[in-house]
Structure formats: structure tokens, C-alpha cells
Structure 1
């Protein structure tokens, strides 16, 4: 699944630089995660880096983008090929 940021976000700026896929950006009011770029850090790290650093635990699994670990790995591989 992709991740999303809830409205409890305090705009602390710690999640954005941690995302290896560039999926996190500043939205109109809070940070947002592009579900097409989010792989939950599959392919890069063992755990989701944004979740690990979030001081208010406002980054959750997005039920609108259900993906298996295999699907996340395929998305990661596709993103790597596009950036090469």
C-alpha cells in the first residue's frame, strides 16, 4: 500500500528528505504523499523511513492503494528504470 499523511501533520519537514522516491511534497496545508511514487521504501530500506522519523505518527497505510510487497517491489523497479 502507499502511505498517506493525516491532517495531524505539523509540517515539521522531517519526512520529505527521507523519501528515497521523492513521493513526499508540501501540499496546500500539510505534506502529501504521491501514491504513484510511494513504495513504502520497498527496494530501498527495511522500513518506511517517513514513518520512522514522523514525530506525531501521522503517516498511515492508504487503504485506497492496496498493494502487496511484490507489487511494491515491481513499482520500485519501474521507478528505478525511469530514473536511469
Structure 2
């Protein structure tokens, strides 16, 4: 039963992700999205935490692929991953 609920939840998340990406693409204003980077840490022991980490990473990748500018901030220093800072 849990697996079917998990698959349903991931389908819902994929739908919501598609809606978010479509809304961002359609927005005429400049949008700044701030997200956490969860892939540079220790892999969580907890299955739910690992699932969150993977789904957050998937969303971050989709956002960065669609963005004109992607910046990773480390120790307060911007590291441009895509595009150029204004």
C-alpha cells in the first residue's frame, strides 16, 4: 500500500513541478528562485530524507535548465553556473 501511495505522491509532485515550470516560463516579470542545495552533504540514512533529497535535486535541475542565470552561493560568494551576473 505504501508503494502505491508513494507513486501517487510522486505523480502529484511531477504535476506540480510541471505547473511551476510553466508558470515561471509564462511570467513576464523577472523571477528569483532561492532553493537549498541538498546534494553536497552526507546521504541521509532515513529513506524519507533520501527521497526528499532526490526530489529536491530533480526540481533544482529542472529550474536551472529553464533559467537564464543559475548561481550557487558558497560561503557568501556567488559561483555562476549558467549565464552572467548583471
Normalised-by-shorter TM-score class:
under 0.3
- TM-score normalised by length of structure 2: 0.25
Larger Rg: 2
